[in-house]
C-alpha cells in the first residue's frame, strides 16, 4: 500500500511538473510575443519620428519658399504701386499745365477781361465805389478787387478742369487714383529738403571757413591795438670809460 501511495504521489508530481513546464513554455511564448510586439512598436515609433522630422523639414522648406514668394510679391506690388503713382503724377501735372494753358486762353481770358474793363470804364466815367475801411482810395480798391476777382475765377476754373479731367481719366482707366495732392506736395518737399541739405553739407565740407573783410575790419575797430614793444637803452661801454680816465 505504501508503494502504491508513493507511485500515486510521483504521478501527481510528474503531472504537476508537466503542467509547470507547459506553463513556463506558455509564459515564454507570451514573453516572446510581447517582445516582438514591443520591437514592432519601437520600430513604428522610430518610423513615425523619421516621417515626422521629414514632414517638419518639408513644411519648413515650404514656409521658407512661401516667405520668399511673399517678399517677391511685395516687391512686385510695390513696383506696380510706384509705377501707378508715377503715372498718376505725370497725368496730374499734365492736367495742371493744361488747365493753366486753358484758363489763359483767349476764349476764357477775353470775356473776363471784358468784364473787368467794363468796371474800369464805369469807374473812369465817374461811378463811385466806397473805399475799403477808409484805408485805400476807391480807385485802388476797385483795381485790386478786379485783379483778385479775375485770378480767383481762373483758379476756380482751373481746379474744376483738373477735377473733371482726372475723373474722366479714371473712368477710362488711365488714372489709377493712387497719388494724391498731399502725397505729391510731401514728396516734392522732402526731395527738395534732402537735396538742399546734401548741397549745404557738400558746400560746408568743401569750403574753408574764413571771416569776411567787413567783419575783420569791424573787429579791428572794436578791439584795442596791441601795445608796441618799448626800446631798451644801450649798455655803456666799459672800455671807453677807462680810456677817458
Q: What is the 3-state secondary structure (H, E, C) of 189-222?
A: HHHHHHHHHHHHHHHHHHCCCCCCHHHHHHHHHH
> Tell me, what's the pLDDT at 20?
85
> Tell me, what's the pLDDT at 104?
79
Within the chain, which residues score under 50 in pLDDT?
126-138, 208-211, 215-217, 219, 221-223, 238-245
Element (H, E) at 138: helix 138-171
Distance CA 53, CA 154 (A): 74
> Tell me, what's the pLDDT at 74?
92
- The structure's pTM equals 0.51
> Tell me, what's the pLDDT at 65?
93
> Tell me, what's the pLDDT at 198?
85
> Tell me, what's the pLDDT at 222?
46
> Tell me, what's the pLDDT at 131?
41
> Tell me, what's the pLDDT at 138?
47
Distance CA 154, CA 165 (A): 16
The widest CA-to-CA distance across the chain, in whole angstroms, is 183
Alpha-carbon dihedral sign for residues 5, 11, 15, 16: positive
Amino acid at each position: 500500500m505504501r508503494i502504491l501511495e508513493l507511485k500515486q504521489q510521483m504521478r501527481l508530481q510528474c503531472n504537476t511538473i508537466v503542467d509547470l513546464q507547459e506553463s513556463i513554455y506558455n509564459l515564454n511564448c507570451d514573453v516572446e510575443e510581447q517582445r516582438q510586439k514591443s520591437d514592432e512598436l519601437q520600430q513604428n515609433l522610430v518610423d513615425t519620428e523619421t516621417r515626422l522630422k521629414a514632414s517638419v523639414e518639408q513644411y519648413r522648406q515650404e514656409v521658407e519658399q512661401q516667405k520668399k514668394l511673399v517678399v517677391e510679391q511685395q516687391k512686385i506690388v510695390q513696383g506696380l504701386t510706384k509705377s501707378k503713382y508715377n503715372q498718376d503724377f505725370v497725368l496730374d501735372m499734365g492736367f495742371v499745365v493744361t488747365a493753366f494753358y486753358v484758363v489763359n486762353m483767349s476764349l476764357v481770358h477775353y470775356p473776363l477781361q471784358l468784364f473787368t474793363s467794363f468796371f474800369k470804364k464805369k469807374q473812369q466815367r465817374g461811378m463811385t465805389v466806397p473805399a475799403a475801411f477808409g484805408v485805400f482810395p476807391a480807385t485802388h480798391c476797385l483795381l485790386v478787387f478786379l485783379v483778385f476777382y479775375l485770378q480767383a475765377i481762373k483758379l476756380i476754373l482751373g481746379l474744376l478742369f483738373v477735377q473733371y479731367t482726372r475723373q474722366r481719366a479714371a473712368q477710362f482707366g488711365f488714372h489709377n487714383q493712387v497719388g494724391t495732392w498731399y502725397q505729391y506736395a510731401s514728396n516734392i518737399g522732402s526731395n527738395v529738403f534732402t537735396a538742399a541739405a546734401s548741397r549745404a553739407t557738400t558746400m560746408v565740407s568743401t569750403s574753408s571757413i574764413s571771416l569776411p573783410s567787413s567783419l575783420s575790419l569791424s573787429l579791428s575797430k572794436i578791439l584795442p591795438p596791441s601795445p608796441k614793444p618799448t626800446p631798451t637803452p644801450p649798455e655803456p661801454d666799459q672800455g671807453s670809460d677807462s680810456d677817458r680816465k
